[in-house]
Amino acid sequence: MNEKRRILKNLVSMSVAEFASKGLQFFYTVYLAAILGPVAFGNIGFAKSHVAFYILAVTLGMDTLGCREVASDKSSIRKYVNSIITIRLGLSFIAYLILCIVVFFFLNESLSVKIIFLIAGTSIFSNAILIQWVYQALERMEIIAYRSFFMGLLNFLGIFILVRKPDDALIAMIVMSVALLVNSLWMLYIYTKEFGPIKLNYDSKFAKYIIRISFSIGMSMFVVMLYNSLDMNMLGFLLGSENPQKGIYYLAHNLLIMAVLPSNILQSVFFPMFSQNKTGPKMHEIMKRYSMINFTLGCFLSLAIFVFSTEIAALFGDKYLATAGILKYLSLTILFIFVSVNYFSPLIAWGLEKKALVANIFGLIINVAVISVLIPKYGMYGAAIGTMFSEGIVVVLLSIYFKRQTGTLFMGVLPKIALISILAILPGAFLKYYFHLPYWGIVTSVVMLILLNMVFKLFNIKDIKGFIKEK
């Protein structure tokens, strides 16, 4: 299979399953937010955001290291899987113990909220044994796609069947934690059928190598996650468990994650190729395709979220109408994230994680400074502004480091992409503001984006036809 068709095959596999999964997630999030209300829904968000720190401390950058190394040498799969899972399981018990200490001695919340934190903490172990990175390295995205859809389906069914009243926040947290564990175990089963059983072993020399390299990668990712979730954590600690702003902001944060989902799909598909092609004409060709898709989606989604934020928030009921204002701030953040990912992922794949780390540390410093001042005064709006500023700083610094490495930012097509995005949004905005048909406006804007991309030939229809014939 040639390069173009392989990219398209993986993009199709990942996109279909991820959007199906996130579609399910969207529906159960709407349901969960409405049933639980902003306070209980915010407590779940607070718990998940806090536990994310422990998960990243356990996984470090081992997913990225394993993917990078296996993509370069397929024969090393079992060696890396056995060692990485052994190290992670050991770290998991330490991390969960620390979480218990923090919850019981430092978290000033009710017993029910503390239990939600502890249930959320079981995802530390689920992530420790998750080997999604293996199939990413092998460019077998269909396995990852099945896993993503299966997890979304389990969450969807469990929440709709079991969560019935505002007091069911604990049940919702149990459903989400069990779904993640089942998916991790399923991937282990698939792996053992193909490559044999996992053997826990600790080779001190190899473990030190994994930890040393993973720590550099993981620190960069830790800082990214820190400034992405610091706002939610500070809202929780500063505003308290009964403040509805946590739930409103957590909903906006969830919608932000859904909006940037395509960037995660693109990273999964292109990362192994970046690992295999660090310089030369082929790397430039891959990077052009990657940048074109990233910039197109980033520009369009940023504009769409800004224009249709009120309609998106209305889907969740009157209690969440204030989400629209947060989404308008976060709409620019969406564009920043797509551009940031465009440079972050290749730098990591090329072993330049220290450059990415420096950029993200500066973003974190800005975030801490801004939200420390703004959250006490402006609450969730201050958190949104801090997130936007930090992402902007990271984009600037990553762009500088990337250009030093490659000599270009691959932004030549950006003016055309920006024009296409504006032209795509205008008919939808017209339908919204002049005919009061906002949802038809959303559909129209998406259709216009597809048509304009075909007219301006940003993607090649022949690639799609060739893929369909091959299938």
The 3-state secondary structure of 59-124, one letter per residue: HCCHHHHHHHHHHHCHHHHHHHHHHHHHHHHHHHHHHHHHHHHHHHHCCCCCHHHHHHHHHHHCHH
Dump pLDDT digits (tens) for 417-449: 999 999 999 999 999 998 888 889 999 999 999
Dump pLDDT digits (tens) for 319-360: 888 889 899 988 999 999 999 989 888 888 887 877 877 888
- Predicted pLDDT at 280: 74
Cβ count near 200 (within 10 Å): 11
According to the per-residue pLDDT averaged within each range, which of 281-285, 288-292, 303-307 is highest?
Answer: 303-307
For 466, the 3-state DSSP assignment is: helix
64-78, 106-120, 238-252: range with lowest mean pLDDT: 238-252
Say yes or no to pLDDT of 59 above 50. yes
Q: For residue 210, what are its two tokens?
A: 């994994």
Give the residue among 188, 109, 93 at the shortest CA–CA distance from 147. Answer: 188
Q: At what angle do helices 62-72 and 323-349 cross, to 10 degrees?
A: 40
Cβ count near 350 (within 10 Å): 19
- Predicted pLDDT at 427: 94
Whole-angstrom Cα distance, residue 378 to residue 329? 13
Mean pLDDT (whole number) for 44-68: 86
Say yes or no to pLDDT of 259 above 70. yes
Whole-angstrom Cα distance, residue 120 to residue 366? 29
Say yes or no to pLDDT of 467 above 60. no
Is residue 439 within a helix (H) or strand (E), and if so which, with residue range? helix 438-455
- Predicted pLDDT at 15: 59
- Predicted pLDDT at 3: 55
Dump pLDDT digits (tens) for 385-420: 888 888 888 899 999 989 988 888 888 888 889 999
Say yes or no to pLDDT of 171 above 60. yes
126-140, 159-173, 263-277, 331-345: range with lowest mean pLDDT: 263-277
What single DSSP character describes residue 196? -
Is residue 201 within a helix (H) or strand (E), and if so which, with residue range? none
Residues whose CB falls within 8 Å of the CB of residue 104, separated by 6 or more in sequence, listed in order: 114
Q: For residue 128, what are its two tokens?
A: 């420790």
Q: Where are the beta strands (DSSP E) in 303-403?
A: none
Give the residue among 271, 186, 210, 213 at the shortest CA–CA distance from 76. Answer: 210
Q: For residue 412, what are its two tokens?
A: 């030549």
28-37, 259-268, 382-391, 415-424: range with lowest mean pLDDT: 259-268
Cβ count near 192 (within 10 Å): 11
According to the per-residue pLDDT averaged within each range, which of 12-16, 23-27, 49-53, 113-117 is highest?
Answer: 113-117
Say yes or no to pLDDT of 52 above 90. no
CA-CA-CA-CA torsion sign (387, 246, 59, 21): negative
Cβ count near 174 (within 10 Å): 19
Q: What integer best gives the mean pLDDT of the chain?
A: 83
CA-CA-CA-CA torsion sign (15, 122, 56, 60): negative
Cβ atoms of residues 270 and 286 within 8 Å: yes
For 25, counting Cβ atoms within 10 Å of its Cβ (0-12 exposed, 13-18 middle, 19+ buried), the class is buried
Q: Which residue has the higher pLDDT, 465 or 258?
A: 258
Whole-angstrom Cα distance, residue 57 to residue 110? 26
pTM: 0.69
Q: How confident is the model at residue 74 (pLDDT cuts 50, 70, 90)?
A: confident
Whole-angstrom Cα distance, residue 390 to residue 394? 6
15-19, 286-290, 401-405: range with lowest mean pLDDT: 15-19
Q: For residue 208, what are its two tokens?
A: 């030190």
